[in-house]
Chain A
């Protein structure tokens, strides 16, 4: 079974500051993927960034980077130079990769989320 833990229910950050959202995970699967999604109040889940368990380098996508520490089972999201539009709910999620099929068609297990509010 997989488990995602996000320990920050809410965060207030000043605009233009960097933000780190914490995520730890637990799994017995040797191969897995880690994701971050953003959910504004409108409800749509927006994919931000992905990290594979065997990827050597930390993933980056524009202002988003994923600080992956496999030994500590953590996958923190870093948002650089925060903007007012970054205010939203942020979910960390994971999926296992089946060794036979190569993964890619399994459901996501989500953490409880962090509500991020950017203040001007």
Chain B
């Protein structure tokens, strides 16, 4: 089973709202990732968690706040977003350091900021 789940599928939020995106995997993977994908563009890496610790932050604005409560869960907390943050947010997981390298993606959350 290579399933990564993401909720919600769609999210519309105002610029003053606070919301969270959720990602879950039960494959025993120890690395989890957040990517942002604008329309007709490739995904861009935002954050990497390895063994539940933040290992990579690609200079993402502080209005995006990641959290990894346990090895199966990854959250992305959103606050005071801008309309240009509207995008598809993809979560992925992989086995982790020293293991196989494929990243498996969830279906994504389509975020619209109004």
Q: Are A47 and B56 in contact (CB under 8 A)?
A: no
- Known contacts A43-B107, A43-B108, A108 near B43 by CB under 8 Å: yes
Report A-chain residues with C-beta under 8 Å of the C-beta of B110: 43
- Known contacts A43-B88, A107-B45, A102 near B102 by CB under 8 Å: no
Give, as a whole number of angstroms, the nearest-CB distance from B23 to chain A. Answer: 13
Contact of B101 among A42, A46, A104, A111 (CB under 8 A): A104
- Known contacts A45-B90, A91-B42, A103 near B98 by CB under 8 Å: yes
Contact of B102 among A50, A91, A98, A105 (CB under 8 A): A50
Q: Is A101 an interface residue (CB 8 A)?
A: yes
Q: Is A68 an interface residue (CB 8 A)?
A: no
Give, as a whole number of angstroms, the nearest-CB distance from B114 to chain A. Answer: 20
B interface residues, how many (CB within 8 angstroms): 34
Q: Is B59 an interface residue (CB 8 A)?
A: no
Give, as a whole number of angstroms, the nearest-CB distance from B96 to chain A. Answer: 5
Give, as a whole number of angstroms, the nearest-CB distance from A85 to chain B. Answer: 17
Contact of A101 among B35, B58, B90, B97 (CB under 8 A): B97
A residues at B contact (CB < 8 Å): 33, 35, 37, 42-47, 50, 52, 91, 95, 97-98, 101-113
